[in-house]
């Protein structure tokens, strides 16, 4: 899949997250917020790595988020969500 298609898909993915009806007092708000942050970081990550395919960049992002989630237990949750979000994007692209 070409880079532009992946970027466009990810932009739509972010838009869908932004249009999700999640209230700030709901139980899913942290998950929603971290997922939105992760999708934006993933998009930035792909755009910065034009020397590899977009799919390879996503796999690399997943590995990095997995590593980060094991470094600090206080930050583990947000990086686990980032890992899961990138994996969800990759699954939907394949």
Give tens-digit pLDDT for 47-67. 999 999 999 999 999 999 999
Q: What is the pLDDT of residues 6-15, one digit of tens each?
A: 999 999 999 9
For the cut 80, the answer to whether the pLDDT of residue 23 exceeds it is no
- What are the structure tokens assigned to 10, written together? 């990810």
How far apart, in whole angstroms, are the C-alpha atoms of residue 56 and residue 42? 12
For the cut 80, the answer to whether the pLDDT of residue 26 exceeds it is no
Q: Give Cβ neighbours of residue 29 (< 8 Å, ≥ 6 apart).
A: 22, 23
How far apart, in whole angstroms, are the C-alpha atoms of residue 71 and residue 87? 20
């Amino acid at each position: 899949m070409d880079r532009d298609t992946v970027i466009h898909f990810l932009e739509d993915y972010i838009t869908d997250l932004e249009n999700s009806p999640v209230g700030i007092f709901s139980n899913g708000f942290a998950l929603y917020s971290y997922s939105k942050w992760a999708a934006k970081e993933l998009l930035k990550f792909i755009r910065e790595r034009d020397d590899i395919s977009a799919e390879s960049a996503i796999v690399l992002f997943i590995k990095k988020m997995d590593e980060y989630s094991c470094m600090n237990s206080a930050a583990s949750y947000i990086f686990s969500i980032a890992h899961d979000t990138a994996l969800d994007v990759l699954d939907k692209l394949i």
